[in-house]
Amino acid sequence: MIKKPTYEELEQHLFLLKREVSDQKNQIKSLVKDKEKFQELHALLRLMTDNVPDMIWAKDMEDRYLFANQSICDNLLHGKSTSEPLGKTDLFFAHREKENGFDHTFGKICVDSDAVVKKNNKPGRFLEDGRVRGKYIVLDVHKAPFYSKSGEMIGTVGCGRDVTKDIEVNNALKDSERRFRKIIEEVSEISIQGYDEKRRVTFWNRFSEKLYGYTKEEALGKKLEDLVIPPAMKNEVKRLHGLWIEKDEKIPAGELVLVDKFGNDVPVFSSHVMNSTQAGKEMFCIDIDLTAVKQSEAERERLQAQLRQSQKMEAIGTLAGGIAHDFNNILFPILGHSEILLTDMPENSQFRESINEIHDSAKRAADLVKQILTFSRQESAELKSIKIQHIVKEVLKLLRSIIPSTIEIRQNIDNMCGAVKADPTQLHQIIMNLTTNAYHAMEKTGGVLTINLKMIESEDAGLINSGKKENSGIKSGSYVCLTIKDTGVGIQPNIIEKIFDPFFTTKKKGKGTGLGLAIVHGIVTEMGGTVKVYSEPGKGTEFKAFFPEEKKIFENRRIQIPLSNIQGGTERILLVDDEAAIIAFEKKVLTRLGYQVTSLTSSVEALEVFRAAPKEFDLVISDVAMPILSGDRLASELIKIRPDIPILICTGFSETITQKNVEELGGKGFLMKPVGMKDLAQAIRNILD
């Protein structure tokens, strides 16, 4: 039998029921609040994840979506809503895209990052790429496993950021950097070096290797001052570098003379680019090679010096010509009157020796004037057949009087050498230049000067087919070889190719113009020959001048006849010269020879006299340099009046008159003052006969 509860027991039980109901109500209220709170948090989470550009998702262990934000739906899955992906995998959406005709390859060739995270049981970062609706994209993906309360892995979460543009920009930057690096690496004529805060080389382009001689491997890590900075500049470089490091002061650009690996000077224009990076400050030196510029400037200065020297030489030549003309006008009557005195003077006269000395001195002066005229005139020399040995012997006589006794002169002259076609004065100039150079080479030390002259065949001398440029115009045949050798200081190999350049000289100022060897080379080459040089420093130098032999021997037109047998005549001569002393001498000589002479000091007056009676004269003798009407113009006017009138031109100096253009003017002869009685008389007879 069941015992009935008492009232108190019922009341107690009811109280407990009420309390339990109250607790349940409270729990329900709490659950409702928690649900509302969860819903708010879910809505907040959804709002947050749907409003970020990154893709966010969660998957279960079978890679089915548990969550997907708006970004992944819009940009990767193309889901209709954020709820559509739930319970589905990536393959579902990939197949759907392909079925709809889209080019979709995203994730196809990538690592299965979900599997990697689950296997490793730890977060991971991945780059995943492919085409989404034909557009190539790259995602920077972060994934991590998530767990139940019991610690069991129940899925993965992930987020992905579209870094396609970042990758493209980064690749473009890398390409640009590669191109820029290649440009500065390969750029020619510009050296680019990079240095860190401690002046150590961090970059060394290819032209730096060429300019300074250090390879990249040799330069990298070395300090600036240990490579290209000359000792005198090192302290200044360190000071400027310190100002840049401490005060950020720029290093000024400008021209510098640095040094290469071998100690050679390297002129550059140097500028600097400063930069700051996370690793610290860096500096790039940009050096433009000025070697060619400096050489060009030096060449321009050399050419300007040559021009000044040339102008000076031209002025000297003009002055020399003028002086020579005046000297000739002075020498003419001295030679002439001394010749007359010697003709009229008894053989045993006490004055004959003195007059002879006057005459010989005047002749030597005339020869000197002739050399001055040759130096000053610009026209081509008149070549004739001549034997060099006679001129060599003349020069040797002169050398013995000016060369000190410490220099021995040895000679070996083959008197059987053939003739050459040359200007005697130019040959004299060649021999004097070469022997003077030899003398200068031994001036301090003394030595032996050797002069040889012999015949040689072109093949034996190595002049033909030698392959050398200077022999390109040499013809096969016999040559007269002049050798001048000294035992002096010799010529350095690096300058031996320059010795024939005009104005090139190694002599001290005042010792030479640098024209001597250039003139020698020019004259010999113009004659069809060549010049060879052999030298060894400290042992001496040997010059060989090769002159082509002249087979045809020309007889000297000047016939030497005894003074007492000078042939005269009775012809009528018009004599014109503005120098009274000269015309007085010439008239005296010609009158003594039997000629009928009309002498005038005015060319204008002479023209009028001739115009009045052109048939009254058999010959006209005229000077060239005369005021108002020059001799060549007078000759031209006379020929207009009477084309057959013989004219003999006689001048002390002229830049325009030669035997050739005298003939072109219609003249019959040409004499250079001073003229002796025999020469004048013979020239007249040559024309009139």
Worst-scoring range by mean pLDDT, 198-202, 226-230, 603-607, 654-658?
654-658
The DSSP call for residue 446 is -
Place 502 in a pLDDT band, splitting at 50, 70 and 90. Answer: low
Is the per-residue pLDDT at 70 higher than 90? yes
Structure tokens at 316: 């000297």
Together in a domain, 268 and 302? no
Q: What is the mean pLDDT of residues 471-500?
A: 80
Worst-scoring range by mean pLDDT, 263-267, 530-534, 549-553, 629-633?
549-553
Structure tokens at 483: 């050798």
Together in a domain, 213 and 252? yes
pLDDT of residue 626: 84
Instruction: Identify the CA nearest to 142 among candidates 156, 125, 121, 119.
Output: 125
Is the per-residue pLDDT at 153 higher than 90? yes
Together in a domain, 533 and 570? no
pLDDT (tens digit, 9 = 90+) per residue, 240-250? 888 888 888 88
pLDDT of residue 655: 53
Domain membership of residue 154 as a residue range: 52-168
**How does 402-434 read in b/e, with b if 16+ C-beta sit within 10 Å?**
ebeeebeeeeebeeebbbbbbbbbbbbbbbbbb
Domain for residue 372, yes or no? no
pLDDT (tens digit, 9 = 90+) per residue, 16-34? 787 887 778 778 877 777 7
Together in a domain, 539 and 397? yes
Q: Helices 352-376 and 291-344: crossing angle, nearest 10°?
A: 150
* Among 168, 202, 225, residue at a domain's last position: 168
At 86, give phi and psi (nearest 5°). -60, 130
Distance CA(576)–CA(602), nearest Å, equals 7
The DSSP call for residue 549 is B
The residues pairing with 412 across neighbouring beta strands, listed in sequence order, are 452
Residues 6+ apart with CB under 8 A from 234: 225
Given a contact cutoff of 8 angstroms between Cβ atoms, the answer to whether 345 and 542 are in contact is no
Together in a domain, 74 and 88? yes
421 or 5, higher pLDDT: 421
Together in a domain, 396 and 509? yes
Distance CA(152)–CA(170), nearest Å, equals 41
Domain for residue 462, yes or no? yes
User: How far is residue 37 from each of residues 23, 69, 268, 439, measured CA to CA in Å?
Assistant: 20, 21, 77, 119
Residue 550's SS3 state is coil
Q: What is the mean pLDDT of residues 428-455?
A: 88
Is the per-residue pLDDT at 499 higher than 70? yes
pLDDT (tens digit, 9 = 90+) per residue, 94-117? 899 888 888 888 877 677 889 999
Residues 6+ apart with CB under 8 A from 672: 328, 370, 373, 650, 651, 652
Together in a domain, 329 and 420? no
674 cis-preceded (ω within 30 degrees of 0): yes
Place 575 in a pLDDT band, splitting at 50, 70 and 90. Answer: very high
Together in a domain, 251 and 155? no
Together in a domain, 348 and 231? no
pLDDT of residue 483: 94
Together in a domain, 395 and 475? yes
pLDDT of residue 462: 65
* Among 264, 289, 314, residue at a domain's last position: 289
Q: Show the beta-strand stretches assigned E in 1-123.
A: 55-60, 65-68
pLDDT of residue 381: 55
Domain for residue 367, yes or no? no
Give me the number of domains the chain comprises. 6
451 or 299, higher pLDDT: 451
Domain for residue 510, yes or no? yes
Instruction: Identify the CA nearest to 607 among candidates 572, 635, 583.
Output: 635
Q: What percent of the chain has pLDDT over 70?
A: 87
Domain for residue 12, yes or no? yes
pLDDT of residue 374: 58
Structure tokens at 43: 């809505």
* Among 134, 168, 202, residue at a domain's last position: 168
Instruction: Identify the CA nearest to 484 among candidates 364, 403, 368, 552.
Output: 403
Q: Could you tell me the CATH number of the domain that includes residue 575?
A: 3.40.50.2300
Together in a domain, 163 and 14? no
Distance CA(263)–CA(214), nearest Å, equals 12
Together in a domain, 412 and 517? yes
Residue type, 288: I
Domain for residue 618, yes or no? yes
Worst-scoring range by mean pLDDT, 421-425, 448-452, 463-467?
463-467
pLDDT (tens digit, 9 = 90+) per residue, 359-406? 777 777 776 676 566 555 544 456 778 888 888 887 887 777 778 888
Q: Could you tell me the CATH number of the domain that includes residue 528?
A: 3.30.565.10
pLDDT of residue 115: 92
Residues 6+ apart with CB under 8 A from 517: 433, 437, 499, 500
pLDDT of residue 326: 76
Instruction: Identify the CA nearest to 96 among candidates 111, 114, 80.
Output: 80
Given a contact cutoff of 8 angstroms between Cβ atoms, the answer to whether 203 and 194 are in contact is yes
Domain for residue 198, yes or no? yes
Domain for residue 558, yes or no? no
Structure tokens at 467: 């392959």
Length of the chain: 689
Q: What is the DSSP string of 140-190?
A: EEEEEEEE-TTS-EEEEEEEEEE-HHHHHHHHHHHHHHHHHHHHHHH-SSE
